[in-house]
A and B are shown apart, each in its own frame.
Chain A
Amino acid sequence: MTKRQRIVVVGHGMVGHRFAQAAVERGLTETHDVVVFGEEPRAAYDRVGLTSWFGHPDGAEGLSLLPGGVYDDPRVRLVLDSVVTEIDRAARTVTVVSPPSAGSRDGRQGALLDQRGEPGAVTVHDYDVLVLATGAAPFVPPVEGRGKDGCFVYRTIEDLEAIKAASETATSGVVIGGGLLGLEAANALVQLGLDTHVVEMAPRLMPVQLDDAAGVTLVRHVEKLGVKVHTAVLTEEIEGDSSVTGLRMRQAGTEEGAPTEVVEAQVVVFSAGIRPRDALARECDLETAARGGVLVDEQCRTADPHVFAIGECAAPGGTMYGLVAPGYAMAEVVVDALLDGPGTFTGADMSTKLKLLGVDVASFGDAFATTDGALELTYADAVSGVYKKLVVAESEAGDGSFRLLGGILVGDASAYGTLRPMVSSGLALPDNPEQLILPASSGVQLGMPDEAQVCSCNDVTKADILHAVAEQGCESVADVKQCTRAGTTCGSCVPTVKNLVEEHFASVGKVVDKGLCEHFRLTRQELFDVVAVHGYRRFDDIVEAHGTGRGCDVCKPAIASILASQTSTHILEPVTAELQDTNDKYLGNIQRNGTYSVVPRIPGGEITPEKLIVIGEVARDYGLYTKITGGQRIDLFGARMEQLPAIWKRLVDAGFESGHAYGKSLRTVKSCVGSTWCRFGVQDSVGLAIALELRYRGLRSPHKLKGGVSGCARECAEARGKDFGVIATEKGWNLYVGGNGGATPAHARLLAGDLDTETLVSYLDRFLMYYVRTADRLQRTSTWIEQLEGGLERVREVVVDDSLGLGAELEAEMARHVGGYADEWAATLADPAKLERFVSFVNAPDTPDPTIAFTTERDQIQPIAPALIPVGAPA
């Protein structure tokens, strides 16, 4: 058996992460150990989507490509906050410096590589294979004053944090550079509420991707959003003493001393391109390209056979690629090379499609018609701000047909998904190609060849997608995304993926089974409608009319939940009692030894000392283990089933009610102290949290629901980690939806801003009822939104714009729920028939379950694992 080889990866950006991921997925870790050193304090994140970090201070996790920061495979180790400072190619070692503490250094600009000699832990690591994935650093042009306070680059989450902090006291900001990233940065400044300017040296925006006409169209869009665009200007100086006060510029092409103009600004963001970070390679005498980047061959190997370079720090064949897709391709190529595969990197698709400041922009293929014999077809509508150009050439087949070389789309990029694959496939265009860019070009049907690349970020072809659905059992877009990674980076190909999946199933005549279980072929949503339309109240009627057999632990609780959403009857009424999962059946949470935990509602987390004392007394008297939960409540563990009614009685008498910790229902609405106590609070978050918790308590839903209300943007209630999160603004409330913790955490996204309380509540009513009506069983709000056609935008149309005219109906349904609410504990206590089930043994109601036993730890009870007790033996 040969010794395991060790791969050291320098850099944990998107490309370094992709390499590690591919190494695991493709079996390279069977023979190799992988160690990845990342210099940032956090694991790789989606730098392409960096701007979406704004608006949520805890948003870094939301962008993370590796939530939790650990790979599934123990043979891949990720070491963060560590800088590789030296490579010794002869000894095959790298020297790594871990700073003494994360906060002691300036994380901006990725300048860490230059920080030699700083005290910190220095370690040396062997490698058999070294993979450089150090990426690129923003280029800061040598403008006078560029080091002043208020000058930033736009590359890392730390950069954004710094820009955000500076924007709190600023009114105006300038972005230097009108390329892709510059417009992203401008978008960020707009979101931060700054009066925003973009300064571009070239005569148009996005000069690399767009032609003049497209650039002009884009300027019109961008200016409509309040961004002032200055093209064909040179920055002369950043003004101000120690801090930035403005930016002085003059017309490009004029001599020094020509008239200048000053734009007032307290924030300046440099976005004038990037430079490969190849210093490490240079210092160990690896050759670099003329314009930077480690020179590598088609396998991304340097002249040293043990060293590879991938992503923006690499220059395969002398060319550096500043996009993520080529970097991903390089990562795969190196994994392939290490597996002795045939993969090579021979250039990349430089297509881009973006939604910049809400404007669709796409550029692909030979956008500037540089190919011999290329012809341009353009369509422009200056009024609506649409510009489309196709670059075509006569086919080499000589049959008079044309093929597509490239194009530019501004204002409406909906054709991108169809057009871009045509470039790579070389497919002949239809007879009248102008139809492809004219408005309403729906008449032209395009067959896409199997080899057409659908997802350029992850290099997924149509054939890959068809393979996934036909051979690998994928049944939905979500399955395909997971299986092939198509649509998981920029997302622009998701509509195409969806069409392919649907086309495939239509072509094989297969109806995708979305049925709940063997007893029902219907989805939860269909069952919900069936129950509503027929007015069913009994499981028996539903299964007889629409199902088979006698149901199971999947369909019965789902139907119980649907019935609970549509009626206000107690869930332990005889017709529904036997449908309930054990937690709902006993109105508590079953724990590992068969005992239950009891959680009284503490709305908004606000509780009087008297009530606190009662909880303490109950816990003491019944010997219960107590723990403060993550949701601002107190959990009482270890109650035997037959003790539950007596425990509830004590609590109900003291004014408590069920906290519904057991149900797929509203759990809590967490809050911070808000304006009542907090010196930063701008609204009464406690008051609102209590009102919302009381309004939605008992609402049965497809999955458990949580809410949060924060009194200011500091977000102490972590409201954006909840299904609905409300954050106070100076003007009212911002409403976020679709967040959750759990195994797949998600951050809630903004649905509507600056709402008054009444509007907020009506939107929430609509949102929650729409979710209850249409989500799948056990589908959280985050996945529900993701899988809803149109996503969050669709939710906004229904909830905010009321595009379906459903608003009043959804609100009325919620009003019915609110009006019909009764405490389930109190109602159970008041009904002797319901209490009958709360006995240990039907023939020995006073004999406790002998399998339940406790020990004591940290002064409280802990269960003894029941399996340790011989089955059936009395204690």
Chain B
Amino acid sequence: MIDLARATAVCAVADIPREGGVAALVDGVAVAVFRTHDGSVHAIGNVDPFSGASVLSRGIVGSRGTAPVVSSPMYKQAFDLRTGACLDDASVSVPSYDVSVVDGVVLVGGVR
């Protein structure tokens, strides 16, 4: 569960396009925050482990099977928005963060 006292308020949920993402700075670290089509919000690390560039928030959000995913804008690997797991390479993942929406504000907590 998210520790509200230590969470960072990053933006209004309306600031994140539906099926889009934004990058936020949380304790000096770049986090990609996404809103899926059903309105749920997810946060994973922003750095694409395959290129090292901080760009995952700019990827295309969609689905693979039942998993909500973002595909990296660099080399197109898909990451599960819920866990940060790379679905194209089981040995790779990015951190996933606790995230919550309170009064229309997106709060990002610690690494899960």
Contacts and interface: CB of A to CB of B under 8 A. Distances in A.
Pair from one complex: yes
Interface of A: 518-519, 540, 549-553, 555-557, 574, 577-582, 585-586, 590, 592-594, 641, 836-837, 840-844, 847, 849-852, 865-869, 871-874
B53 A842 contact: no
Interface of B: 8-11, 15-20, 22-25, 28-30, 33, 36-37, 45, 47, 51-55, 58-65, 68-69, 71, 73-74, 76, 78
Given A552-B62, A552-B63, A577 B20 contact: yes
A551 B58 contact: no
Given A594-B54, A844-B25, A851-B54, A578 B19 contact: yes
A592 B17 CA distance: 25
A538 to B, nearest CB: 12
A867 B75 CA distance: 15
Nearest to A590: B73
A602 to B, nearest CB: 27
Contact of B17 (A518, A557, A578, A586): A578
B24 A843 contact: yes
A703 to B, nearest CB: 17
B47 to A, nearest CB: 5
A553 B59 contact: yes
A550 B55 contact: no
B52 A866 contact: yes
Contact of A518 (B10, B15, B28, B64): B64
A842 B63 contact: no
Contact of B63 (A550, A592, A841, A844): A550
14 contacts: A519-B63, A550-B37, A550-B68, A578-B60, A593-B53, A836-B15, A841-B24, A842-B24, A843-B8, A843-B24, A844-B25, A851-B54, A871-B47, A873-B28
B8 A582 contact: no
B62 A841 contact: no
B36 to A, nearest CB: 7
A779 B37 CA distance: 30
Contacts of A851: 30, 47, 52-54
Contacts of B20: 577-578
Contact of B62 (A551, A586, A594, A847): A551
B52 A869 contact: yes
B96 to A, nearest CB: 14
B74 A590 contact: yes
Q: Closest 4 A-B residue pairs measured CB to CB?
A: A867-B52, A594-B53, A582-B73, A866-B52
A837 B17 CA distance: 9
Given A552-B69, A841-B24, A590 B55 contact: yes
Given A577-B20, A578-B20, A842-B15, 14 more contacts: A550-B62, A551-B63, A552-B60, A556-B60, A578-B17, A582-B58, A582-B59, A585-B58, A586-B58, A836-B15, A843-B11, A866-B51, A866-B53, A871-B52
A298 B70 CA distance: 61
A790 to B, nearest CB: 34
Nearest to B50: A867
Contacts of B53: 592-594, 851, 866
B54 A866 contact: yes
A852 B54 CA distance: 8
Contacts of A577: 17, 20
B3 to A, nearest CB: 18
B52 A872 contact: no
A269 to B, nearest CB: 53
Contacts of B54: 594, 849-852, 866
A338 B25 CA distance: 65
A555 B63 CA distance: 11
With a 10 A CB-CB cut-off, give which of A518, A540, A552, A847 has the most chain B CB atoms: A552
Contacts of B16: 842
B94 to A, nearest CB: 9
A297 B55 CA distance: 65
B25 A847 contact: yes
Contacts of A866: 47, 51-54
B62 A556 contact: yes
B23 A549 contact: no
Given A577-B17, A594-B55, A867-B52, A552 B22 contact: no
Nearest to B27: A872
B112 to A, nearest CB: 15
A213 to B, nearest CB: 62
Given A842-B23, A866-B51, A866-B52, A553 B64 contact: no
A552 B71 contact: yes
Q: Which residue of A581, A582, A872, A874 has the most chain B CB atoms within 10 A of its CB atom?
A: A872
B32 to A, nearest CB: 10
A612 to B, nearest CB: 31
Nearest to B28: A874
A519 B62 CA distance: 10
Contacts of A836: 15
A581 B60 contact: yes
B28 A552 contact: no
Contacts of B59: 553, 582
Contacts of B37: 540, 550
A852 B61 CA distance: 24
A851 B74 CA distance: 15
A580 B61 CA distance: 10
A865 B74 CA distance: 14
Which of B23, B33, B53, B63 has the most C-beta atoms of chain A within 10 angstroms of its own C-beta? B53
B62 A553 contact: yes
Contact of A582 (B10, B55, B65): B55
A117 B62 CA distance: 70
A578 B18 contact: yes
Given A590-B74, A594-B55, A840 B23 contact: yes
A165 to B, nearest CB: 49
A865 B52 contact: yes
Contacts of B65: 518, 549
Contacts of A843: 8-11, 24-25
Given A552-B63, A842-B10, A872 B15 contact: no
Nearest to B94: A871
Contacts of A871: 45, 47, 52
A641 B32 CA distance: 15
A871 B65 CA distance: 30
A321 B42 CA distance: 70
A404 B55 CA distance: 67
Contacts of B10: 842-843
Contacts of A585: 58
